[in-house]
Structure 1
Amino acid sequence: MDSFSFLIVTGTPDNTEFGIDFLAINITEQFRGVKFIPQGPHFVYSSSKDHFGNPSTSRSGFLHYYKGGEILVKEWNAKNEELQDRTRGDVELEKQRIKENIKDLDRFLAMYEFENIGKWKSLTSLITEDAVQRLSPPCKIIRNSVEFKSCTDENRPRGKPEAPIRNVRIRSTDDEAMYLPKMEVIAETQPQYSKLPERYNQFSSPAEKTFNNIDTVNLIDKLFTEITTPSNLLEELQFCFIVYLCCLSIDSLAHWRQILSLLCNSEQAVEKYRTFYLQFINVIKHQLPEIPIEFIEQNSTNTIYLDIKNLLRNLIINGITEPSELLQKHLDDTISWTFEDLLEEDPEDLPQIVDLSS
């Protein structure tokens, strides 16, 4: 019993969608929480439904690192329609009373789903309690999209004052920006992800732009100097992928995609950070079979497939052949991706010969 944890929830309306990891249920008035939660990180989410059983709010939740024998208490916030920390009464005293009377609550608690525990542990193997604290939003509630502050009158778009509205023509993105509100993210609602370096900006030289498009090693070096350790980036890679899976967060999926692209497209970084890349391979091995179905198709427009192909090529060039072959086999078995002629140059990358005589 001491190796498992309990989640107690109060005040949740009937027919609310409730989930923990891969388990999703519509709760009834007798529902009081979940029992026998294994130690480690687990994502809890909820979503209100209308009278017809359709979601009326987007998912929101939290990632919590459960310790053995822990009792976590949450209550329903009717205004925001989401679970939040317990605010009523003496929480520690309440936990003690729950612990003493846990057998009486047993029939009101859903059993944690152990059928997919192996998959869940593979997807969260590097997420520590520190990582949960470091990457979660300051408000501790993770929503499927970041929130923005209301636009003040000062920031409302007005365009060029001298131009009559009926004669306005948007000729460039600069002109377009004048007619859009200046939106500001509410920082407390945003996961604390690393700021990833851009491949180039307005101050980049032509040589830097060209090199960064060919090999991202300089960007990876820059990122590794800004985070505590490279392993923190792998924790973040798992964290944002889990937030996407459980909370359907497009923002977190986009962040995962950016990290993947950065790490896959550097031959020099594979040589320089060999141990890191062996860990990286093991992380994405479990993630790729879980990506959205629209990214599964193997073709020349699937950028995830192309990035993985570049990664496999960079691994082979640097002599990391066996892990590359194992990853190829795993992806063939799980999502039917195959990779041929990895060391051949892509025709689009070959120099073009232009005949100037005609």
Structure 2
Amino acid sequence: MAEVDMDPEVARGLFEEGATLVLLDVPEGTELGIDYKSWQVGPRFRGIKMIPPGLHFLHYSSSNPKSMGGEIGPKMGLFLSLKPRELVLAHWDRNEEDLDFSATQNVEEVERVKAGLRELDPFLGPYPYDTLRKWVSLTDRVTQEVAEALQPLNGRVCAFCDVVPELQLTHTRDRAEQNLPRNDTACQNMKEGLDRLPRMKQREGTELRFSHIPKQMYPPGATPAQITQCSMDLSYALSCLLEQHYPQQPLNVLGELQFAFACFLLGNVYDAFEHWKSLLSVLCRSEEAMRTHKELFLGLISVLYHQLGEIPPDFFVDIVSQNNFLTTTLQDFFQFATGPGMDSTLRKRAEKFKVHLTKKFRWDFEADLDDCAPVVVELPEGVTLE
């Protein structure tokens, strides 16, 4: 870990007031990082010092020794809310290839490490303050409460799902009871072979606990015209999501958007990216909600401004269709946010953001949407939709 070029007095103050992660026995070669920066662990590494108070994402990947190829394993991490002068202690568990933080609960051991912190200082890498501003801009809406509510119950954000069989089919008779093909005969075709594979599910407690986005975007008993309207304006779906998950603090949905983005960008969690896209789609297509939740959508523009600076402009292009998810989604957003009856501040901010994206990424938000616009269909009296 590279040293930070910093005034000695400033460094001393940060050392005294900042939090410290003491991470013992981490194998050399492990890829480890905090927030927006990562390193390969060297032989002298014992942790990270001078960490500013607040929310941080500690992430790491175990690796094989160079003599065995040096391959890097899947990334995992956890969100930590650190207080001034706090010391968090963890030991590397070689069997689990993970950090064990149980030592932090041992007050006596923590106090012993604190007492020897000066001697440990040469083995602690400084927090990367050159990336702090970027980290804060990407997570300023993620409170400790939001992070705790969204991260898995086991506390680990993992790039690859930990899966287990839906059914424990240890014996041939177990498969017979489930009307599944026997495993002790030759497969006749590919389908039969696939049918013999166990159905897998994510291990309980390892799932990211994102908000549920309603599959039915319209209220019960809606007319065909209302169904069409709710398919164009997703305000009903957004209101259901906010009422279920953020009834007291609707702006916390922006924290969830940032949390999902950070899990994808820094934790390599693809499911988080898919949720980010789904949540963004609902937000950007909620026209009526833009009139009633102005602050939410002003905040959305700020969140997106920082997030979109971290990803190449062609990242969202569908390889098959060549459609850009972001341009089509934001095109709807700009159309709604700059429409009649919208708050002037939101309208001006949206127009400014649109100009910024057009200049930076050369995205075209002026394409004609009429050819693909949905049409409201009134069914004859007495005719219902199945």
TM-score of Structure 1 vs Structure 2, range by shorter chain: 0.7 to 0.9
The partner residue of 2:302 within 282, 286, 289 is 282
Determine the C-alpha separation between the residues in 2 that align with 1:311 and 1:64.
Answer: 34
Q: Does 1:310 align with 2:327?
A: no
Contact 2:61 2:73 in 1 (8 A): yes
Q: What SS does the aligned partner of 1:189 have? A: coil
Name the residue aligned to 1:133: 148
Q: Does 1:224 align with 2:242?
A: yes
Name the residue aligned to 1:324: 350
Contact 2:31 2:41 in 1 (8 A): yes
Q: What SS does the aligned partner of 1:196 have? A: coil
Determine the C-alpha separation between the residues in 2 that align with 1:349 and 1:152.
Answer: 49
Determine the C-alpha separation between the residues in 2 that align with 1:132 and 1:257.
Answer: 19
Which whole-Å deviations, capped at 9, do the CAs of 1:231-271 have from their partners, x for residues lacking one? 22111111111111111100111111110111111222212
**AA at the equivalent of 1:218:** Y
Which whole-Å deviations, capped at 9, do the CAs of 1:252-297 have from their partners, x for residues lacking one? 1111111011111122221232221111221121112223664256
Unaligned runs of 5+ in 1: 171-175, 352-358
Name the residue aligned to 1:173: none
**AA at the equivalent of 1:22:** Y
Residue 160 of structure 1, CA deviation: 7.8
Which whole-Å deviations, capped at 9, do the CAs of 1:119-170 have from their partners, x for residues lacking one? 1101010111222222221111111133222341157986589xx9647979
Unaligned runs of 5+ in 2: 1-12, 376-386
Q: What SS does the aligned partner of 1:337 have? A: coil
Range moving further from structure 2, 289-298 or 50-59: 289-298
Name the residue aligned to 2:91: 75
Which whole-Å deviations, capped at 9, do the CAs of 1:5-24 have from their partners, x for residues lacking one? 11110111111111111221
Contact 2:217 2:236 in 1 (8 A): no
Residues 37 and 87 (structure 1 numbering): CA distance in 2 closer, same or farther, change over 3 Å? closer
Contact 2:317 2:323 in 1 (8 A): no
Determine the C-alpha separation between the residues in 2 that align with 1:28 and 1:6.
Answer: 18
Contact 1:331 1:338 in 2 (8 A): no
Aligned identity (percent) is: 26
Residue 350 of structure 1, CA deviation: 7.4
Q: What SS does the aligned partner of 1:187 have? A: coil
Q: What SS does the aligned partner of 1:322 have? A: helix
Contact 2:327 2:365 in 1 (8 A): no
Which whole-Å deviations, capped at 9, do the CAs of 1:211-248 have from their partners, x for residues lacking one? 34312111111111101331221111111111111111
Range moving further from structure 2, 68-77 or 320-329: 320-329
Q: What SS does the aligned partner of 2:122 have? A: helix
Give the TM-score normalised by the residue count of structure 2: 0.78
Which whole-Å deviations, capped at 9, do the CAs of 1:95-135 have from their partners, x for residues lacking one? 22222222211110111111111111010101112222222
Determine the C-alpha separation between the residues in 2 that align with 1:30 and 1:206.
Answer: 68
Determine the C-alpha separation between the residues in 2 that align with 1:186 and 1:114.
Answer: 37
Residues 43 and 13 (structure 1 numbering): CA distance in 2 closer, same or farther, change over 3 Å? same
Determine the C-alpha separation between the residues in 2 that align with 1:230 and 1:120.
Answer: 23
Give the TM-score normalised by the residue count of structure 1: 0.84
Q: What SS does the aligned partner of 1:259 have? A: helix
Determine the C-alpha separation between the residues in 2 that align with 1:274 and 1:336.
Answer: 27
**AA at the equivalent of 1:302:** N
Name the residue aligned to 2:209: 192
Residue 193 of structure 1, CA deviation: 1.2
